[in-house]
């Protein structure tokens, strides 16, 4: 058994290589092999968002606070709110983030496959984001 105590896991700024705007990430769990699950609390300031990306084994988002957006490639921008759960199927190109005037936090849960849990793609343009 491993217990990680409050304050032992640092909150870090998410990389501008993969995110637009102010995004903070706090790891919750990065289980050692043979387990594959990873999870993090991700906090988005208004207007902040991920790049387009995919997950080899899918991803679950659980919105913990605020109001944000999610979009699957070719689909409409959807509003997500605290208490909502979003399932992203394996290989589905998507992005997620805060609303234009509201912050949003979610817990992101995904499994790694061969040590890889995410494939980062191009940034979401301002026009794509504004389409919501």
**Domains, the chain, with CATH or none:** 11-130 (2.60.120.10)
Q: What is the mean pLDDT of residues 77-96?
A: 98
Place of tokens 């290989």: 91
DSSP assignment letter at 124: P
Where residue 7 falls among pLDDT bands split at 50, 70, 90?
confident
Place of tokens 């496959």: 113
* C-alpha–C-alpha distance, residues 54 and 2, integer Å: 29
Which of these ranges, 24-38, 57-71, 97-111, has the smallest mean pLDDT? 24-38
Q: Is the pLDDT of residue 52 over 90?
A: yes
pLDDT of residue 49: 98
């Amino acid at each position: 058994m491993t217990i990680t105590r409050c304050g032992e896991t640092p909150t870090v700024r998410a990389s501008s290589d993969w995110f637009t705007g102010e995004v903070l990430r706090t790891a919750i769990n990065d289980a050692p092999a043979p387990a594959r699950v990873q999870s993090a609390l991700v906090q988005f300031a208004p207007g902040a968002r991920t790049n387009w990306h995919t997950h080899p084994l899918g991803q679950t988002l659980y919105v913990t606070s605020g109001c944000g957006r999610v979009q699957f490639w070719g689909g409409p921008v959807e509003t997500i709110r605290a208490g909502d759960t979003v399932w992203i199927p394996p290989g589905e190109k998507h992005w997620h983030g805060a609303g234009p005037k509201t912050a949003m936090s979610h817990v992101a849960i995904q499994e790694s496959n061969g040590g890889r849990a995410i494939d980062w793609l191009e940034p979401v343009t301002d026009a794509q984001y504004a389409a919501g």
